[in-house]
Structure 1
Amino acid sequence: MPISLKLISLGTAVPPFVIDQHDAAIAAHTAFASRFGEFDRLAKVFNSAGIKRRYGVRPIDWYLKTSGWQERNAAYIEGACDLFLDAANKALALAGLLASQVDIVVTVSSTGVATPSLDARVSSKIGFRDDILRVPVFGLGCAGGVSGFAIAAKLASSRPGCIVLLVAVETCTLAFRMDKLTKANIVATALFGDGAAACVISATERGIAEIEMSGQHTWPDTLGIMGWSVDPEGLGVIFDRAIPPFAEANIRPAIASILSPSGLSIADVDRFACHPGGAKVIDALETALDLGQGTLNHERGVLSDYGNMSAPTALFVLERLIAGGLPARTMMTAMGPGFTASCVSLKAAA
C-alpha cells in the first residue's frame, strides 16, 4: 500500500454535566422572562433548534449565577484540560500509540484564554515528550475543527513520518450570559454545548482515510457576522447577520472555488460532512449544495445529541460517518469567524 497522508484515528469527548433542552428553556425563562420583553417570542428557539440535550463543564444552576471573567476563564481552563485529555487519550488508544510518540500537537480552542496553553498544561499528565512541537491555535471559532485538521495535515506532510495530534476543544456554554438581554444571547443559550475531538494524522500505510486536499475561502467585509465580544463578565456571542441565508447564497461558489485548484468539483463529492451550526443552517446547506432534504442526517443527529460545540462539532459528524463506513470521497466543511469557509477532502482508505 502506498504511503500517503492519512487520518489514523478520531476520538471524541464531552463533559459530565447533561443539559437537557427542556431544563435549559426553564432556566432561561427564570433568568430572562421578567427582564426582557422579547423573551417569550425568542424562546421558541429552544424548540426549533433541533436539540434534545447538550453537555456542559458546569451544572446548569452554575450558569444562573453572576460570574465574571475570572471565574468563567478558570472554568474554561479546568474543563478544557479535562476534555483535552479525554479526547486525546481516546484517539491515541485507537491509533495504538502513546502520547510520547506524538511529534506535533495542534490545539484548537477559542472559548477561553490559557497561557500557558492547554497542551502545556496537560503535558505531564498525558505524557508528551519534552521536545514536542506545540501549535496552539485561537480565533477560528466554528471553523476550527476543519481548519485545525488542515493545519495538522500540512504539518504532517512537511515532516514525513512524524505523528501529529490535533485536539479541538471548546467550552461554549461559558458564554451563557445572564446580563445580556439580546437575541444573540438567547440563541446562544439555546444552542451551545461543550465538547472535544482529537485526531491522529501521519504519512503512513495504514489509516481510516487519505487526506486529499484542503482550502479556505474568506468573504470580504464580513467580520461582524460571528465572533466574541469581551467585557468584565467574559465572552459574549456576536451574531450580527442571519447566517442561514448567507450560507444558502454563498457556500456553494466558495466550496467550488476551493475544490477547483485540485481539479475537483462539487459533483465529485460523495458526502459532505458539515458543521451543524443549527437546524436552519443544515437546511440552508442542503439547499445550497443541491442535497435532498434529510441528506445531512448525521449533522442533525449530532446537533440533537450535543448541540453546537463550535470547533469539534464537524469532527463528531465525521466520527459517525466513519462508524457507518466512509464513501469514496468525503468533504468536511465548516463556517466560522472571518467570515470563512474551511474544507478538507478525505478519500476512503483502500
Structure 2
Amino acid sequence: MTPARLLGLGRATPPHSIPQEDAREWARAQFAGRFPAFERLAPVFANAGISNRHIAMPVEWYLQPQNWATRTAAYRDVGRTLFIAAARDALDASGLTPADIDIVVTVSSTGIATPSLEALAHAELGLRADVVRVPVFGLGCAGGVSGFALAARLAAAQPGARVLMVTVELCSLSFREDMLTKANVVATALFGDGAAAAVLSTEGPATVAVTAAAEHLWPDTLDVMGWDVAPHGFGVIFAQSIPALIARHLRTTLAGMCAQLGVARADIGRFVCHPGGAKVVEALETSLDLAAGSLDAERTVLAANGNMSAPSVLFVLHRALADNLLPTDRPSAMLALGPGFTLSSALLTPLP
C-alpha cells in the first residue's frame, strides 16, 4: 500500500497556566498537613524538568470539591474547545478545510463523553455529515503514537482519503485532594493539559510518510499505569517505577520492534519520544544509546507544558519538524509508553 503522508500538525493548550513553583506550594497547602510523606516527595516538583503547565480550569476550581458530574462537565466543555482549536491548526497547516476530512480519529483517556468529542465539535468545526468517526479510549500516554499510527493505517487503507487525528487530554481534571498517596503527589507534579492534531493522506505535499508502526505489551504489567475508577473521579495508578522499567526492557524490546518496522536500529536517524518526565527522558536516552541531552526537543516540550499524556509526543514532533531536526536521509522513529504496559512506535520516512 502507498503509505500515508503527514500533511499537517496542530496544537492547542487551555488559557490557564501555573508555574511549577506555584504548583508545588499549592500541593503543599493541600497535602502537607494531612500526608506526612509529602515533604519527602516534594523534590519531585523541582526534579521533574517542568517550568510551567497549562490547566483546563482556573486554579480556584481545583480547590473546590469535585465529583464525576463536575469533572465530566469540564471535560466536555474544555475538551471540545481544544479539539476544535487543535484540529483547525492542523487543517490550516495542511491547506485543507474541515469539509475535506473523510475520517476523524479521536484519542482521549482523561474523561468520558458520549457523544464523543468529535461529535461535540462537529457542527462548529464544520465536519461533513458523512465523516467516519473513530473514538479511541484507554491508551493513555501511548495514545499520541498509537492514534497517529492508527490514522496512518486508515489513510493507507483508503487511498486518497483524508484522515484527521485529534488527541485531547485534560489530566488536571483527575486531581484528587482525597488521595493521600505517592502516585497522586507525583501526578500533581507532572501532568498538564493540551491537545494535538494531525492530518494524514496518501496524497498531498509532505516531508515525511508514516511507513510502519508496531506495538509491544509487556506481560504482567497491567498494574504499572492506569486509572483507579473511584466515586469522585479517576485516580492515577503508578505501581512501578517507569524509568526503571524502561531501563530493564526497552533496549531488548526495541530490537524486536525494529524488525517489525523493517528498519535496522542503526539506521534510525532520530527518535521522537513522549517526555513523561525528566527521569523518563534520561532513561530513554540511556536505553536508546543516545548521548545525554540528545532528546532536546522532548525536554523543551516537557519544560513548557508538563506531561500532557498523549498530545505530548505530537508537540515534540511539531517542534522537531519546525526546527529541521529530522534527518532527510534516514528514517525517524516515534516512541511512547503507556498503560498496558505498552510501547508504541511509528516510523517516519523522509520524502523527496
Moved more, 251-260 or 265-274: 251-260
- Find the residue that maps to 1:204 and give its secondary structure: coil
Cα deviation, residue 334, structure 1: 0.2
Aligned AA (2:343): A
Cα deviation, residue 186, structure 1: 0.2
- Find the residue that maps to 2:35 and give its secondary structure: coil
1:24, 1:60 within 8 Å by CA — same for their partners in 2? no
> Which residue is equivalent to 1:138?
137
Cα deviation, residue 322, structure 1: 0.2
Distance 1:283 1:56 in 2: 25
**Aligned-pair RMSD on alpha carbons?**
1.1
* Alignment pair present for 1:331 and 2:333: yes
User: Any stretches of 5+ residues in structure 1 without a counterpart?
Assistant: none
Distance 1:108 1:96 in 2: 23
Distance 1:22 1:250 in 2: 34
Deviation readout 1:88-146 (Å, 9 max, x if unpaired): 00000111111011000000000000000000011000011110000000000000000
Moved more, 106-115 or 20-29: 20-29
- Find the residue that maps to 2:202 and give its secondary structure: strand
Label 1:74 to 1:256 Cα distance change in 2 as closer, same or farther (>3 A).
Answer: same
TM-score where L is the length of structure 1: 0.98
Cα deviation, residue 62, structure 1: 1.5
Deviation readout 1:6-41 (Å, 9 max, x if unpaired): 001001110000111111111101101110001111
2:331, 2:349 within 8 Å by CA — same for their partners in 1? yes
* Alignment pair present for 1:185 and 2:187: no
> Which residue is equivalent to 1:269?
268
2:214, 2:260 within 8 Å by CA — same for their partners in 1? no
Query: How many residue pairs end up in the alignment?
Result: 349
Distance 2:146 2:323 in 1: 24
Matches for 1:63-82 after TM superposition, within 5 Å: 63-82=62-81
Q: 1:347 aligns with which of 336, 346, 349?
A: 349
Distance 1:262 1:187 in 2: 34
Cα deviation, residue 4, structure 1: 4.3
Matches for 1:85-100 after TM superposition, within 5 Å: 85-100=84-99
Distance 2:205 2:85 in 1: 24
- Find the residue that maps to 1:131 and give its secondary structure: coil
Deviation readout 1:65-98 (Å, 9 max, x if unpaired): 2111110111111111111000000000111111
> Which residue is equivalent to 2:101?
102
Deviation readout 1:148-179 (Å, 9 max, x if unpaired): 01100110011110000000110000111111
> Which residue is equivalent to 1:200?
199
User: Any stretches of 5+ residues in structure 2 without a counterpart?
Assistant: none
2:80, 2:121 within 8 Å by CA — same for their partners in 1? yes
Cα deviation, residue 210, structure 1: 1.1
> Which residue is equivalent to 2:218?
219
Deviation readout 1:221-274 (Å, 9 max, x if unpaired): 110000001111101100000000101111122222112034312111111001
Deviation readout 1:173-218 (Å, 9 max, x if unpaired): 0111111000000000000000000000000142131111100000
- Find the residue that maps to 2:333 and give its secondary structure: strand
Percent of residue pairs identical: 52
Distance 1:27 1:292 in 2: 36
Aligned AA (1:130): A
Moved more, 61-70 or 193-202: 61-70
Distance 1:7 1:151 in 2: 13
> Which residue is equivalent to 2:21?
22
> Which residue is equivalent to 2:149?
150
Aligned AA (2:140): G
Deviation readout 1:267-316 (Å, 9 max, x if unpaired): 11111001000100000011101100000011111110000000000001
Q: Which runs of 4+ in 1 moved over 4 A?
A: none
> Which residue is equivalent to 2:59?
60
* Alignment pair present for 1:244 and 2:246: no
Moved more, 249-258 or 198-207: 249-258
1:213, 1:344 within 8 Å by CA — same for their partners in 2? yes
> Which residue is equivalent to 2:295?
296
- Find the residue that maps to 2:206 and give its secondary structure: coil
1:106, 1:134 within 8 Å by CA — same for their partners in 2? yes
1:51, 1:306 within 8 Å by CA — same for their partners in 2? yes
1:142, 1:311 within 8 Å by CA — same for their partners in 2? yes
Distance 1:315 1:37 in 2: 38
1:4, 1:204 within 8 Å by CA — same for their partners in 2? no
1:3, 1:205 within 8 Å by CA — same for their partners in 2? no
TM-score where L is the length of structure 2: 0.97
Aligned AA (1:300): R
Cα deviation, residue 349, structure 1: 2.2
Distance 1:77 1:205 in 2: 33
Matches for 1:27-38 after TM superposition, within 5 Å: 27-38=26-37
Distance 2:331 2:32 in 1: 48
